[in-house]
Structure 1
Amino acid sequence: MTALRDRQLAALVPEAGALIVVDVQRSFGDPALLAPYGLDAAAEAAVAAAVTRCAALVDGARRRGVPVYWVELGTPADEPWRASAWLRTGNLDAPVGPEEPCVLGSRGAEWYGVTPLTGEPRIVKRGYSGFVGTDLAERLAADGIEWVAVAGLTTECCVAATATDAFQLGWPVLLVDDATAAYAGDIHRAAVASLALNVAVVADTAQVEGVWAGRAALVAEVIA
């Protein structure tokens, strides 16, 4: 541990934090729906582990009264995201196809391995960031949230976009490394390194729960 990291963790007021869970949905986490992405065995294991860690993190947040905000992709079947269609197919006007992730009302849009409780905020997005075209920023501000922990799928895409926008809008960010995953180990590691450089303090679930519990100094000693 460095003196800077000690100061960063100690500056976070435990009762002012929140957890943002990003896109832990069947389209991105269920092995039965991941074939189009070509994951190898290691990547499949990493995704499964991240989902398990997300569930544990949510449980820990609830035990401590930490608010959980659920960010989920919801793609209307009749409103294609033209830029995404162009990037994936070269056709701006490609319709929503059968492999489109998280189409509203589909099995792929369901939460996977984690489930929001009644009353916990759910933010449905159209693109990568949980802040673009949503009221997430307004909700966080209204609830007095001063910093956020971000976890979910996938590290380099929607997790990175959401964490980056949280930071740019003024919220310090803890990126929960062991509760995130990408579809290749090198992509996950590169994304974490980039976010650590410019956006977030990287932590694991135990460290985040330590901050929530008001034990930032103790956590720093244990993991030094």
Structure 2
Amino acid sequence: MALPAIAPYELPAELPPSRVPWRVDPARAAVLVHDLQHYFLGAFPAAGPPLEPVLAHTARILAAARAAGLPVFYSHQRGGQTPKQRGLQLDFWGPGLPADEHAQAMPAAVTPEPGDRLVLKWKYSAFVRTDLAEQLAELGRDQLVIVGVYAHIGVQMTAADAWQRDLQAFVVADAVADFSAEQHREALRWTAGKCAVVLDTARLLAQVGAAEPAPEGVS
């Protein structure tokens, strides 16, 4: 099965209620940019929602995080994986990324900068078969802010995996995207109810001390 063609949809306007009172602490938090590679983003319309505002929000989050001293991690998948490397993902999603530089790269607005850390990812969760947990521990970070795609697959799985490792996860509702508005909303409901705090970009920026007006056209 290949990735679906994703129809345009508006980002959710309402956030599910939080079950826990966690707040993002700049001294404890790190940011994970989850799988924002051209291959995965190619399923979305190039202009308009959801992708255009998600990338704009992600860029604002990254600028604020770097300014506040939050470590920034990027999960990414390797192109041209062998069937053994691909594992059961081959059965569900086919061969995955081609061995193509553009497909594996990320949009310029959200590309890694010097000092950011790359995590080579193999499964839905960014913790499986990686050293993400160990790197967070070495940095003294026990909170993880997650942005990227896809909300109901890797983002949700990574948030749940963080919870199981006693790491507080925060999913940024308007900086993640999904196959549809329904799946996007359901991913937010599930994570808020089971393992994470769901917040939006404005709330996140306020909590890291970087509140600022949104650029024109971005809410």
User: What TM-score do the two structures reach when normalised by structure 1?
Assistant: 0.77
- Is residue 122 of structure 1 aligned with residue 122 of structure 2? no
SS at match of 2:49: helix
SS at match of 1:8: coil
Per the alignment, residue 103 of structure 2 pairs with 108
CA shift in 2, pair 1:152/1:45, >3 Å = same
Structure 1: how far apart are the matches of 2:195 and 2:46? 27
Range with greater deviation from structure 2 (141-150 or 41-50): 41-50
Identity level (%): 27
Residue 68 of structure 1, CA deviation = 0.7
Per the alignment, residue 25 of structure 2 pairs with 13
Q: Deviations over 1:31-71 (max 9, x none)?
A: xx32xxxx6x6996112221221111101111111111111
Structure with a larger share of its residues in helix? 1
User: In the alignment, is the contact (CA less than 8 A) between 1:68 and 1:121 conserved in 2?
Assistant: yes
Per the alignment, residue 130 of structure 2 pairs with 134
| Alignment RMSD (CA, Å) | 2.7
Residue 82 of structure 1, CA deviation = 3.4
Per the alignment, residue 70 of structure 1 pairs with 74
Per the alignment, residue 10 of structure 2 pairs with none
Supply the AA of the counterpart residue of 2:28: A
CA shift in 2, pair 1:120/1:197, >3 Å = same
Per the alignment, residue 57 of structure 1 pairs with 61
Q: Deviations over 1:127-149 (max 9, x none)?
A: 21110000000000000002111
Q: Deviations over 1:103-125 (max 9, x none)?
A: 45432110123111122110011
SS at match of 1:52: helix
Residue 5 of structure 1, CA deviation = 6.8
Structure 1: how far apart are the matches of 2:93 and 2:76? 21
Structure 1 unmatched ranges of 5 or more = 90-95, 216-224
Q: In structure 1, which of residues 78, 86, 89 is the aligned counterpart of residue 91 of structure 2?
A: 86
CA shift in 2, pair 1:143/1:87, >3 Å = same
User: In the alignment, is the contact (CA less than 8 A) between 1:43 and 1:183 conserved in 2?
Assistant: no
Superposition pairs of residues 208-223 of structure 1, within 5 angstroms: 208-213=204-209
Q: In structure 2, which of residues 129, 150, 154 is the aligned counterpart of residue 154 of structure 1?
A: 150
- Structure of greater Rg: 1
- Number of residue pairs the alignment of both structures matches: 194
Supply the AA of the counterpart residue of 2:51: V
